[in-house]
């Protein structure tokens, strides 16, 4: 099945992950009147990882994806597998209290292990490299934050180093950093391959996956769920997972209004010529920098440099909409001036007001998860077995953090306008700090 990312914009939209040899596994079209133990809405990393583990626990599983596999954030992202959340451990303990906070820290600490172990133990055909992730500090304040993060995670056993300006320069080859934090637990994957391979082994475990099928309504009926789709087919499911994240629509009342989705943009060079390649991320790490509107980058398995960062709120329509990333790239690597950009694409990142991922159980047998703030590759893959255990055993403790009520953001549509203004302001401040 060929993959097309929405919306089609002339000359842009193709991600660097799409390759002629890479094909999604076959789909299992939905028949009207099917029944299952668990219906999963959304075929991203969360939906597919949950499907795999639920099927292995003996549940009959139906995944229903509106578009193609990996056409949500899961096949479009930067492929950086970073453990932890945006908040450091002490902040999480402060927010959740000692017991829940430590349980959450232990879970988020393991998310990269889950991804790389899965690839290894299942023999997945997913190009990957566990070379670490660098938080790169461009100001003295950011370097202090890096040191603080290093202290907190090292105290919890993370294999990590604090980097000075010389060390970060050697590892990244990039100009302009004062230092940073290297977390060796992290690494990179080819994200679309990960989504396809998860789908393949989920199907092998018995899960059935329908694509091109939008779920339009969920209704509770006589103790089970009636899952209605745009094609007219309905499914009767004992339980339902809504794994639609930043692409959530009106299926679960208030869910889409409980988060703000932002466009994250990426660009990719062609495979870099040897003379230039040696000076670009020679250490093989992934990097996110400390700017308010952060820039993240990595090398791809075929030798491209891939640079990502927040984009504008409107849907991009021309290559110029990615120009800020090209500027960032040549600021970091002046030697890349004049190197062409071969791919430009974007996807949605779900951000919640408290910057934490949320699990909701709005009704019996219905779970929704949303809001991974750009950290979902590890987080959503690792949540899969936990959510599957929750469905199979019905025990709240299976979940790594407690479900919360869905809280729609007041004046939600204005919030997006506010976010757009904040991004413009932050970009200006970042520019002044260069």
Ligand X SMILES: Cc1cc2nc3c(=O)[nH]c(=O)nc-3n(C[C@H](O)[C@H](O)[C@H](O)COP(=O)(O)OP(=O)(O)OC[C@H]3O[C@@H](n4cnc5c(N)ncnc54)[C@H](O)[C@@H]3O)c2cc1C
* Footprint of ligand X (CB under 6 A): 41-47, 64-67, 71-74, 76-80, 82, 214-215, 243-247, 249, 251, 264, 266, 308, 346-349, 372, 374-378, 380
101/316 with CB nearer ligand X: 316
For residues 191 and 44, the answer to whether their CB atoms sit within 8 Å is: no
Q: What are phi and psi of 22, to 5 degrees?
A: -100, 120
Give the Cα separation of 96 and 290 in Å (integer): 25
Residue 83 to residue 109: CA distance in whole angstroms: 5
Q: How far is the CB of 326 from ligand X (least distance, A)?
A: 16
Please tell me the distance from the alpha carbon of residue 70 to that of residue 52, in angstroms, as a whole number: 16
Compare residues 178 and 257 and give the one whose CB is closer to ligand X: 257
Residue (84 or 89) nearer to ligand X, CB: 84
For ligand X, give the closer residue by CB, 178 or 201.
201
Question: CA-to-CA distance for 319 and 14, rounded, in angstroms?
Answer: 12
In the three-class reduction of DSSP (H, G, I as helix; E, B as strand; rest coil), residue 360 is classed as: strand
Least separation in angstroms between CB 191 and ligand X = 7
- How many Å apart are CA 231 and CA 304, to the nearest integer? 40
CA dihedral (230, 231, 235, 241) in degrees, to 10, reads: -40
When the beta carbons of 133 and 178 are compared against ligand X, the nearer one is 133
Q: Are the C-beta atoms of 76 and 191 separated by less than 8 Å?
A: yes
Least gap, CB of 298 to ligand X (angstroms):
8
Nearer to ligand X by C-beta: 47 or 385? 47
Cβ atoms 363, 220 nearer than 8 A: yes
Question: Residue 340 Cβ, how far from ligand X at the closest point, in Å?
Answer: 21
Residue whose CB is nearest to ligand X in the complex, by number? 376
Could you tell me if 138 and 289 are in contact, meaning their C-beta atoms sit under 8 angstroms apart?
yes
Least separation in angstroms between CB 184 and ligand X: 17
Least gap, CB of 14 to ligand X (angstroms): 13
Nearer Cβ to ligand X (151/236) = 236
Min CB(372)–ligand X separation in Å: 4
- 173 — alpha (psi -120 to 50), left (phi > 0) or beta? left
Minimum CB distance to ligand X, residue 229 (Å): 8
DSSP-assigned letter for residue 206: T
Give whichever of 142 and 251 is closer to ligand X, judged by the CB atom. Answer: 251
Q: How far apart are CA 82 and CA 169, in angstroms?
A: 21
């Amino acid at each position: 099945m060929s993959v097309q990312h929405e919306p089609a914009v002339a000359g842009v939209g193709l991600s660097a992950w799409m390759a002629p040899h890479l094909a999604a596994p076959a789909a299992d079209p939905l028949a009207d009147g099917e029944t299952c133990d668990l219906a999963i809405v959304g075929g991203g990393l969360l939906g597919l990882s949950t499907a795999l583990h639920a099927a292995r626990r003996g549940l009959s599983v139906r995944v229903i994806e509106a578009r193609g596999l990996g056409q949500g954030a899961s096949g479009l992202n930067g492929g950086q597998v970073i453990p932890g959340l945006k908040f450091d451990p002490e902040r999480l303990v402060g927010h959740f209290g000692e017991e829940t906070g430590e349980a959450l820290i232990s879970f988020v600490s393991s998310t990269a292990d889950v991804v790389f172990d899965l690839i290894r133990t299942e023999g997945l055909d997913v190009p990957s490299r566990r070379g670490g992730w660098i938080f790169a500090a461009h100001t003295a304040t950011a370097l202090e934050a890096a040191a603080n993060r290093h202290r907190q995670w090292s105290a919890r056993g993370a294999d990590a180093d604090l980097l000075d300006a010389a060390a970060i320069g050697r590892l990244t080859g990039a100009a302009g950093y004062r230092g940073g934090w290297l977390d060796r637990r992290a690494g990179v994957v080819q994200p679309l391959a990960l989504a396809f391979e998860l789908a393949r082994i989920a199907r092998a475990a018995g899960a059935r996956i329908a694509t091109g099928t939008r779920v339009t309504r969920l209704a509770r009926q006589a103790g089970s769920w009636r899952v209605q789709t745009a094609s007219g087919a309905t499914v009767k499911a004992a339980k339902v997972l809504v794994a639609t994240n930043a692409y959530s629509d009106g299926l679960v009342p208030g869910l889409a209004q409980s988060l703000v989705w932002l466009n994250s943009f990426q660009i990719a060079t062609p495979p870099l010529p040897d003379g230039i390649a040696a000076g670009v991320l020679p250490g093989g790490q992934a990097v996110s920098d400390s700017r308010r509107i952060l820039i993240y980058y990595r090398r791809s398995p075929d030798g491209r440099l891939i640079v990502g960062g927040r984009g504008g709120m409107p849907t991009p329509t021309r290559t110029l909409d990615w120009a800020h990333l090209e500027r960032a790239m040549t600021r970091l690597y002046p030697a890349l001036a004049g190197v062409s950009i071969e791919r430009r694409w974007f996807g949605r990142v779900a951000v919640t007001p408290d910057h934490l991922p949320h699990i909701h159980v709005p009704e019996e047998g219905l779970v929704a998860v949303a809001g991974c703030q750009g950290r979902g590759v590890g987080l959503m893959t690792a949540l899969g077995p936990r959510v599957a255990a929750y469905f199979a055993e019905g025990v709240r403790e299976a979940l790594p953090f407690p479900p919360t009520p869905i809280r729609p953001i007041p004046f939600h549509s204005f919030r997006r306008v506010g976010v757009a203004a904040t991004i413009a302001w932050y970009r200006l401040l970042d520019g002044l700090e260069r």
